[in-house]
Structure 1
Amino acid sequence: MRSEADLILTRAKWASEIFRGYDRERTQAIVQAVAQAAFEKAQEYAEWAVRETGFGVVEHKRFKAEASSRGLVEYYRDHDFVNPRVDHERMIVEIPRPAGVVFALAPATNPIATVYFKILSALMTRNAIVFSAHPASRECCNHATRLLAEVAERAGAPDGVIQAIDEPTIPLIDEFMRSDKTSVILATGGMAMVRAAYSSSNPALGVGPGNGPIVVDDTGDCKKTARYLVDSKSFDNGILCTADSIAIVYRSIAKQLRIEMERVGAYFCKEDEISLLREFMFGAGSLNVKGVVGRDAPLIARDAGIRVPLRTRILVAPIKKIGIDEPLSKEKLSPVLAWFVAAGKSEAFTQARATLRMTGAGHSAAIHSSDPQTVLDYATSVEAYRVIANTALSQGASGLTTNLAPTMTVGTGFFGRSSVGENVGPMHLVHWTRIAYAKDASIDISSFDGKQLKFSGPLASAPSDGVPGEDSGSRAAPPAEPRAPVSPGNRRQAGKGRPVEEHTEVDLRSEIRRLIAEELRRNRGE
């Protein structure tokens, strides 16, 4: 009896083999259709995600979803992941090779934007993708995944190119991760899940936790800095892994910065309130996820026993040390910002390094300074692959308000024991075969310009040859050109052994569905 994972992955494998034969025009048409549908549903899914998980802010989730749909496609508008690349100077021709089947995980803290981002990254590079949503956000994620799958198929994508797991369990996820039909795992979530992905024996792109330190020196604009700090920490109630964790402020500017932050919605906790907050957030030995993560600042304060104005956007907790024995210096995933006053540059940089050594190595950091040398020294000092200067860390490190690649999967590289250090994107889901000529070769490789790729390989001549993806029958490439619509009355029946070129896309989808149904009936002994 074949397992659920094997059936889903077999279908995805077959779809990926067909999809990799699409030209750029057909691929772009699918990408644009899916991006537009996702963009139009951003508000609805933002509301659904907050309602289902209890995390975050609707307005901010909509912004992330819009940025991860049309915004993502616009960013990569001039990137070609389909056609050969010809480097005339280096005498190298590069041929794109899609990964195949992407197994993707989505966290409850950032569900819809992650679904949008990963699906579109897969489609741009002609990969199939299978999604496993976190149980806390399964309903909204699976609905979005299936909606976008329908849109992709209507736009011409192969049936099964986007799929979702109905009821993910740890054993089932482990089977998906370890299957030889899985080409790469795109893991966004807790460290346990990321480590499992890396231990699966399959290629994995995983990320680590954040814990961003923000150094503020005495050369910048205090009002702007205050606004950036509060806007960043309150963004989606501090739930992004790129969110600020500790503001490390020069003593010479601390008093003025505090006044400016209070003007824009920050509440600085008193000594006894800090103790209450610490106990509420970490009293059980770990972060109080249900009571803290992604919740509004006034609600956290109320449940901790602290009275704050209703206009409060973030809670600020002054601390005297940074390290494992001060829980408030750890990642908090909430609108709670730790505050440390440093004597000057040396102590500020030392404490920033200590913050990332404890949690968040390789992730993100920020600095507010008008001195380029200070910015350069800080970026060299801290073990972070993103250092955001003079703007909001949360949005900036994700590429939402900077020119970094927009992403919902932030690599932590060597420092964070991750396979990738930059912002993960579609470029990580395609590799390139390189044709290299001798340095002194006289051949003019401009003859490669405009050449179209011809594909062959393990493609079933038709789904009726057997379960998609299994070896049987003759082999043929997918159609090279788009088919004109065929009316139901003129549609020919798909027969066994006929080449793919003789089938319409609708015929293929119907045949795949019939095959899967037959396979399920056989497994049930019907």
Structure 2
Amino acid sequence: MTSTAQAGHMLERARWAAAAYAEYDSTAVSAIVHAVAEAAHAEAERFAAEAVAETGMGVVADKATKNRACSRGIVDYYRGDDYVTPRIDAARKIVELPRPAGVVLALTPTTNPVATVYFKTILALMTRNAVVLAPHPRAARCSADAARVLAAAAVAAGAPDGVVQVVDEPSIPLVQALMADDRTDVIVATGGTGVVRAAYSSGNPALGVGPGNVPVFVDASADLAAAATRIVDSKAFDNSVLCTNESVLIAEDSIADKLRGALTRAGAHLLDEDGARRLRAYMFADGRLNTEVVGRDAAWIAGQAGLRVTQKTKVLIAPFGDVIAEEMLAHEKLSPVLGMTTAADAARGIRAARAVVRIGGAGHSAAIHSENPSVIADFAAQVPVLRVSVNVGNSTGSSGLDTNLAPSMTIGTGFVGRSSIGENLAPQNLINWARIAYNTESAVPMGDFGGIVPWRTPSGPVPAYPRASNDRGATLTPPRPAYPAPARSTDPNLDALRAELRALVVEELAQLIKR
């Protein structure tokens, strides 16, 4: 089967499932979501081990933590929220009906493969969408295995056939075809810059996020022992594959020496200038990050750079001077390597953090360890990011695992980061609200919508997706789907636009293979 034909088959099946699932009420949706979350949670450790074995990145225990957080944890966080039942505002004489996006194409990365599969699938199901998962080629096996477990749980709980699907053998032509097809209602892209740009260039609506390059500032008022432990543990968490991990540490001069001692006691190894030079030469030999270091542990990276550290070393800290683009240690590293510099005072520390974000990570995240609300407010106001974690490790802080931000594997960077969303991706990003609005004149009464729900719990077995009679293993079914889907657009201008964008999409998606 050609890539285009395969994409078309998956999307047609997803479109049928989305149309069926959009008729479910909150009771039916809740049962499906809980069943899928429990199935995912039960396999959290197995799939964590599979992800590390397949990708060579990260730490099994930490990936299991993320898998649990992105399964049962997501359901617990949104418990009580309803994305299905109409909302009635009698005072404003408005009724709001949730309208699902339809077919969600979810691109998932190699760094957090299974957690992202869990996360995007559960969000799609909470909002009555069908989801087609396109995993990174280097994490295809574990991602597909996880997706099949979730799909089986969904169907067993009453979801329509095809509501969760996965690309078993991802390729550039297949992903390109999925992205450009007008049966894809929205693309949710998590991955490298090239993948996100390709999603935005596809001609379909897209929710994409930019890269991180997180500055963390420790000022003179901070609890240094606590700050050091939190920074080291965060930087070591899953070997720093989360885009929210700290990238550059900025310490106020007056406490820098004490902080270095606390970092050492917390498990970090502080390099001297020669060690930093050797590490820089290995990690950025050609002026770009050596992707072999991504998700590897500190001792392995040190050994590759010709440095000797103990196997218990959690993080390598490399000193440098000015925060400028030419300083490679000021760039994102996606590994337990932390650049460190100092600043004379809080104002200069904030300026250094701004410089880090100008190099990369605009709109993403920053962290500060401080007991001074005035400094924290200045930091948040001046550093151009949309989430600032305070006195917490940023890997799990900005991702919402250790703060009350929405737990998410997709971090919006807003307008400054050239992203369509500024918050952590959440269920509300996958629905629109259709609004019934009455005349504001008091003489025009609003009808009583109490108890009216236009959806229902399916009675009896859910019809199977119709298949052709010559489809291997298929059974004969009625010639038309039980739930007809909307007709495809026939606008010839769309074909012309996609032809113009094809070269760009291929070029950008090539990064999906290389990373």
TM-score, normalised on structure 2? Answer: 0.89
Q: What's the counterpart of residue 211 of structure 2?
A: 209
Q: What's the counterpart of residue 517 of structure 1?
A: 471
- The 3-state SS of whatever aligns with 1:411 is coil
Question: Is residue 65 of structure 2 the alignment partner of residue 63 of structure 1?
Answer: yes
- The 3-state SS of whatever aligns with 1:90 is coil
Question: Structure 2 unaligned runs (5+)?
Answer: 476-515
Indicate the structure (1 or 2) with the bigger Cα radius of gyration. 1
User: 1:443 deviation in Å?
Assistant: 5.5
Which of 270, 273, 276 is the matching residue for 1:271?
273
Question: Is residue 400 of structure 2 the alignment partner of residue 399 of structure 1?
Answer: yes
* 2-structure distance, mates of 1:519, 1:71: 38
User: 1:175 deviation in Å?
Assistant: 1.0
CA contact (8 A) 2:99 2:433 kept: yes
Q: What's the counterpart of residue 389 of structure 1?
A: 390
* 2-structure distance, mates of 1:35, 1:378: 38
* 2-structure distance, mates of 1:413, 1:80: 25
| Cα displacement string for residues 340-380 of structure 1 (whole angstroms, at most 9, x for unaligned residues) | 11001221111111111110000000111111111111100
Q: Letter of the 1:284 partner, please give it.
A: D
Q: What's the counterpart of residue 257 of structure 1?
A: 259
Which of 28, 35, 41 is the matching residue for 1:33?
35
Q: Letter of the 1:205 partner, please give it.
A: L
1:141-180 → structure 2 map (5 Å cutoff) = 141-180=143-182
Q: What's the counterpart of residue 491 of structure 1?
A: none
1:125-524 → structure 2 map (5 Å cutoff) = 125-290=127-292, 292-442=293-443, 445=446, 447-453=448-454, 480-484=456-460, 504-505=461-462, 508-509=463-464, 512-513=466-467, 517=471
Misfit runs of 4+, over 6 Å? 518-521
User: 1:53 deviation in Å?
Assistant: 0.2
Q: What's the counterpart of residue 87 of structure 2?
A: 85
CA contact (8 A) 1:213 1:246 kept: yes
CA contact (8 A) 1:88 1:446 kept: no
Q: Letter of the 1:304 partner, please give it.
A: A
Greater relative contact order structure (CA < 8 Å, 6+ sep): 2
User: 1:515 deviation in Å?
Assistant: 5.5
User: 1:284 deviation in Å?
Assistant: 2.2
CA contact (8 A) 1:349 1:378 kept: yes
CA contact (8 A) 2:399 2:405 kept: yes
CA contact (8 A) 1:12 1:161 kept: yes
TM-score, normalised on structure 1? Answer: 0.88
User: 1:108 deviation in Å?
Assistant: 0.4
Q: What's the counterpart of residue 489 of structure 2?
A: none
* 1-structure distance, mates of 2:212, 2:88: 39
Cα 1:328–1:82 shift into 2, 3 Å? same
* 2-structure distance, mates of 1:516, 1:326: 61
CA contact (8 A) 1:274 1:317 kept: yes
Cα 1:444–1:265 shift into 2, 3 Å? farther
User: 1:441 deviation in Å?
Assistant: 3.2
- The 3-state SS of whatever aligns with 2:76 is helix
| Cα displacement string for residues 207-241 of structure 1 (whole angstroms, at most 9, x for unaligned residues) | 00000001110111111111111011111111110
CA contact (8 A) 2:27 2:457 kept: no
- The 3-state SS of whatever aligns with 1:200 is coil
User: 1:446 deviation in Å?
Assistant: 7.3
User: 1:483 deviation in Å?
Assistant: 2.7
- The 3-state SS of whatever aligns with 2:217 is strand
* 2-structure distance, mates of 1:105, 1:425: 16
* 2-structure distance, mates of 1:67, 1:3: 36
- The 3-state SS of whatever aligns with 1:18 is helix
Aligned-CA RMSD value: 1.7
CA contact (8 A) 1:398 1:407 kept: yes
* 2-structure distance, mates of 1:355, 1:220: 21
User: 1:285 deviation in Å?
Assistant: 2.2
* 1-structure distance, mates of 2:450, 2:470: 41
- The 3-state SS of whatever aligns with 2:312 is coil
User: 1:91 deviation in Å?
Assistant: 2.0
CA contact (8 A) 2:279 2:305 kept: yes
397-406 or 441-450: bigger deviation: 441-450
* 2-structure distance, mates of 1:148, 1:450: 32
- The 3-state SS of whatever aligns with 1:412 is coil
- The 3-state SS of whatever aligns with 1:447 is coil
User: 1:449 deviation in Å?
Assistant: 2.1
- The 3-state SS of whatever aligns with 1:185 is strand
Q: Letter of the 2:393 partner, please give it.
A: A
| Cα displacement string for residues 435-466 of structure 1 (whole angstroms, at most 9, x for unaligned residues) | 12233435564721221115xxxxxxxxxxxx
Question: Structure 1 unaligned runs (5+)?
Answer: 455-479, 485-503, 522-526
1:5-44 → structure 2 map (5 Å cutoff) = 5-44=7-46
* 2-structure distance, mates of 1:442, 1:358: 59
Cα 1:110–1:518 shift into 2, 3 Å? same
